[in-house]
Amino acid sequence: MNIIGRATPAAAVLVVAAFVLGGCADSSSPTAGPSTVPSSSVPTTPTTAPTQTPSDTPSQTPSSPPATPPSTPPASCVDRKLQELTLREQAAQLIMTGISANGMTSAQRSTASAQKPGGLLLLGSGGSASHTRTAMSTATAVATLKEIRPLVAADQEGGQIQRLKGSGFDRIPAATVQGTWSTAKLTAEAAGWGNQLKRAGINVDLAPVADVVPESQRTTNEPIGKLDREFGSTPGPVGQHVAAFINGMDAAGVMTSVKHFPGLGRVRGNTDFSSGVVDNVTVRGDADLAPFVAGVRAGADLVMVSTVTYTKIDPKNRAVFSPTMIRGMLRGDLRYGGVVITDDVGAAAEVASVPAGERATRFVAAGGDIVITARASLTATMVSALVRESQRDKAFAALLQSSVRRVLTLKQNHGLMSCG
């Protein structure tokens, strides 16, 4: 499931800043809101005592009815849903559980029924569009909780990474081919692919890939280049095609996840199958971050964070566990306020040494929202870990609730949540 370093840090910051409206926020915190005007700068009106009424003037005037006190605005749908959910139900909204693309196995059905995860990820090869629609209708019903339906996601990029290929689904060309098309053509084609997903009950495409793979590294880059998953080798054209793909899916009513922040274009190993994968080149503010900026500005609903360690940004943490990467760069520098999702941290070899519960808590503590586990059997472990950490640490509990709020807002915006 699976940008960034030719520019020097100083020059590269300027490159990325040019894409961000209004410049960059403080690198150590989420985007700052509008500044408030100091109270001392607000002009004041002198207060004068009321003039006394002369004695020959009637002292009584018809009294007015007392003013009706302002009513408390009704709670939003998201607020009401948050209040309805138990802590465990809130935590479950932050887990995307892997299920068979052909329909849930009995074990997966049991997990989805008991845990009510907020998302389902299709794995393996699916069948026809009609078969998929029936299977996803059942899966959605099992995972729905209190009129909150799950995100149902597939990796439908094209080429070697196309989960659904049966009758009713077009065979999608590889991204390297899509990158040669005009942006207008890609938008039109993506809208068609999106309509097929929508009709089959899929509401999220975990695409497009925004990683920039240098031409010289295509044959050694295991996760992207060797699989023809990149739109190109330079950030400008890649960014244009990222936006075009998102625009097409959006027209079809399918959510997108730009990936794999801050880029897998300069690594060798594939984190699904290898551990200790590092990027020793990418810097904060790198020029190859431009396609992610383009994706955010085009309205990507989610941003997926990689499990690679970027030694020139945060040598102590993999990207999914890095506050610098998520809070500092993604939410701060790029001013992204939407849902942040992991690459798979269930079956991936890269995180196998990290206890399953910690994979969830460390991601949320770093500022992330949805945790993908390709292994459905880890769902309960991850939910329980999020609950325990929330009970132990009030600051973490606040972070978890903020994440749930972002997820519920996304669902409300896409008709996946009803307040009656």
pLDDT digit string, tens, across residues 32-89:
333 333 333 333 333 333 344 433 444 444 444 444 444 445 679 999 999 999 999 9
Residue positions counted in the chain: 420
pLDDT digit string, tens, across residues 295-305:
999 999 999 99
201 is written with which tokens?
């009950």
pLDDT of the residue at 349: 97
Would 165 be classed as within a structural domain?
A: no
Mean pLDDT of 367-379: 98
pLDDT of the residue at 55: 39
- State the number of CA atoms in the 13 A half-sphere of 188 facing the CB: 5
pLDDT digit string, tens, across residues 220-240:
999 999 999 999 999 999 999
pLDDT digit string, tens, across residues 137-189:
999 999 999 999 999 999 999 999 999 999 999 999 999 999 999 999 999 99
Strand segments, DSSP code E, in 149-294 are 151-154, 156-158, 161-162, 204-205, 255-261, 278-279
Q: Which of 412, 414, 415, 420 is nearest to 78 (CA)?
A: 412
pLDDT of the residue at 209: 98
pLDDT digit string, tens, across residues 308-338:
999 999 999 999 999 999 999 999 999 999 9
Would 383 be classed as within a structural domain?
A: yes
Would 37 be classed as within a structural domain?
A: no
Would 77 be classed as within a structural domain?
A: no
User: 128 and 167 in contact (C-beta within 8 Å)?
Assistant: yes
Would 381 be classed as within a structural domain?
A: yes
Per cent of the chain over pLDDT 90 is: 80
Residues 66-95 as b/e (b if ≥16 CB within 10 A, e otherwise) read eeeeeeeeeeebbeebbeebebebbbbbbb
pTM of the model: 0.84
**Which residue type, as a one-letter code, is found at position 206?**
L
Distance (Å, whole) CA 25 – CA 32: 6
Domain harbouring 250, CATH code:
3.20.20.300
Burial class (CB in 10 A: 0-12, 13-18, 19+), 394: exposed
Number of domains observed in the structure of the chain: 1
Would 338 be classed as within a structural domain?
A: yes
Would 61 be classed as within a structural domain?
A: no
pLDDT of the residue at 418: 87
Would 307 be classed as within a structural domain?
A: yes
Q: Residue 407's domain spans which residues?
A: 9-17+171-413
Distance (Å, whole) CA 53 – CA 58: 8
Helix (H) or strand (E) holding 340: strand 339-342
